Amino acid sequence: MTEDVPGGDIAGKRSLRPLSGVLAAMAVSLTGTRVSAIALPWFVLVTTGSATQTGLVAFCEMTPYVAVKAFTGPLVDRIGPRAVSWTTDLASATAAAAVPLFHALDLLSFPLLLVLVALIGSVRGPGDLAKAVMVPEAAERGRVPLERATGLSGATERLASTIGPAAGGSLVALLGPMTGLVVNAVCFALGSVLITLALPRGRGHAVAEAPSRGGETEPGYWRRFGEGFTFLRGEPLLLTVIVMVGITNLLDAGFTTVLMPVWAKESGNGPAAIGLLGSVLGAAAVAGSLIAAMAAHRLRRRMVFFTGFLLAGAPRFLILASDAPMGAVLTVFAVSGFGAGFLNPVLGAVLFERVPRRMLGRVSALGDSLAWAGIPLGGLIAGAVVTSVGLAPVLLAGGAAYFLTTNLTGLRPEWREMDRAGRRDPQERQPEEAVRTTSANRSA
């Protein structure tokens, strides 16, 4: 049985503990994942000497991540995000710890490694989803505007993406890749503990379903899953966002995994330039996310959203195609990162406002999976096209595609809804004295 979250608690004493706990759990689990993203490929590369096997390991993690996440949304809605988060983090910690354990026992074959990596990806997807689903409830309990809460969530992710690779590279260089995988397991375990402590029982539970016409209050799994698709079909704004972000994710994946390394090699800047540019991009994105957390709820969302994409997308492609000096490239990446920091706060606020709380897990899971579907293909497509026509034409074409996708599509009428109040279930309306988590500019 699901448990409804009492509105009176939200309207009562303010507590920042749930939001702080969710953000802390996000920080440690994402940092561990970024450390593993350095340690695991390096371990495979140095032990097998095969780039193909290294790529296969990455594919085996991301494919179940996307696939399982799509189908676990109804379970998150039914069981509750708190339970899903701490149990999947614990499972991730166990699977991650098994890699160095079996290696130390000389039992880690390559097929077994693929199984463990696939297991990590399978449980990490639902865990990431559950933490994201807990953000709006935690924001309400802390009386924090949604844009601010999602801005802090975005800043947390960007910070982990900045610190994690640096920490992972240092650990691998000094202590070896197995140490990085142990750190990954510890981070997942810590994330599980933080969720259980920050959200005690009675919080982060599932929201009760509205009674059906026949009196049935507990729809089955496939009915919940179908309701997610039905809801998305009736939300043109969310569908347009998903399609647009899906295209940009594909372009970003190709840029990160193929175009940047090829540029670093052909320009003579070497792999150190990739790390430097990634750090500059990540640090600037953290700054943008923090500013968005403080001010985005006072600005028009559509303007902030498309300005952020204008800075974050095409300029990165074009500057690498222009044979510009390294100083100019760093400047453009810093500006791009700053613009990117404003995107997730807006996207998160729009999603949380338009999707009924009882359906948030299933709709978020479907939306995220559709938006991430092109990521495994980005590198494959970019590699094939670069081999055929060279780097510069692909960078120019990628920049043009990014610009057209993120700006000209903004002329569609659906985007006007971004600055308007989203639809909410009547059952989820809070008392008049409760905190308002919407922005000041949501009037039509």
Q: Whole-angstrom Cα distance, residue 55 to residue 177?
A: 17
Listed range (37-41, 236-240, 305-309, 394-398) with the worst mean pLDDT: 37-41
Predicted pLDDT of residue 426: 40
The values of phi and psi at residue 389, to 5°, are -120, -10
CA atoms within 13 A on the CB side of 432: 0
Q: Is 421 helix (H, G, I), strand (E, B) or coil?
A: coil
Q: Is residue 351 over pLDDT 50?
A: yes
259: CB partners within 8 A, 6+ apart: 317, 320, 382, 386, 391, 394, 395, 398
Give pLDDT tens digits for 154-176. 778 777 877 776 777 677 777 88
Reported confidence tier of residue 292, pLDDT bands at 50, 70, 90: confident
Q: Is residue 317 over pLDDT 90?
A: yes
Cα–Cα separations (whole angstroms), residue 168 to 184, 290, 303, 367, 372: 9, 24, 37, 30, 24
Q: Whole-angstrom Cα distance, residue 400 to residue 317?
A: 9
DSSP characters over 119-180? HHHHHHHHHHHHHHHHHHHHHHHTT--HHHHHHHHHHHHHHHHHHHHHHHHHHHHHH-HHHH
In three-state form (DSSP H/G/I as H, E/B as E, the rest C), the secondary structure along 275-299 is HHHHHHHHHHHHHHHHHHHHHHHHC
The values of phi and psi at residue 328, to 5°, are -65, -40
Alpha helices in 206-270 (DSSP H): 221-233, 236-254, 260-267
Predicted pLDDT of residue 386: 80
Reported confidence tier of residue 208, pLDDT bands at 50, 70, 90: very low
Length, in residues, of the chain: 444
Structure tokens at 312: 């974050």
Are the beta carbons of 288 and 339 closer than 8 angstroms?
A: yes
Looking at per-residue pLDDT, the higher value among 421 and 134 belongs to 134
Share of the chain above pLDDT 70, in %: 77
Give pLDDT tens digits for 250-259. 898 788 767 7
In the chain the domains, ranked by start, together with CATH numbers, are 1-206 (1.20.1250.20), 222-423+436-444 (1.20.1250.20)
Q: Whole-angstrom Cα distance, residue 367 to residue 241?
A: 9
Q: Whole-angstrom Cα distance, residue 350 to residue 238?
A: 8
Predicted pLDDT of residue 271: 60
Q: Classify residue 105 as exposed, middle or buried by CB count within 10 Å of its CB (0-12, 13-18, 19+).
A: exposed
Give pLDDT tens digits for 54-78. 667 777 887 888 788 777 777 777 7
Q: Whole-angstrom Cα distance, residue 70 to residue 239?
A: 15
What is the residue whose two structure tokens read 């969710």? Answer: 22
Read off the pTM.
0.62
What residue type is assigned to position 219 of the chain? P
Rounded to the nearest angstrom, the gap between the alpha carbon of residue 345 and the centroid of all alpha carbons in its chain is 12
Give pLDDT tens digits for 143-156. 777 667 777 777 78
Q: Is residue 1 over pLDDT 80?
A: no
Q: Whole-angstrom Cα distance, residue 62 to residue 32?
A: 16
Give pLDDT tens digits for 401-438. 999 988 777 677 777 777 654 444 444 444 333 333 33
Mean of the pLDDT values across residues 111-120? Answer: 90
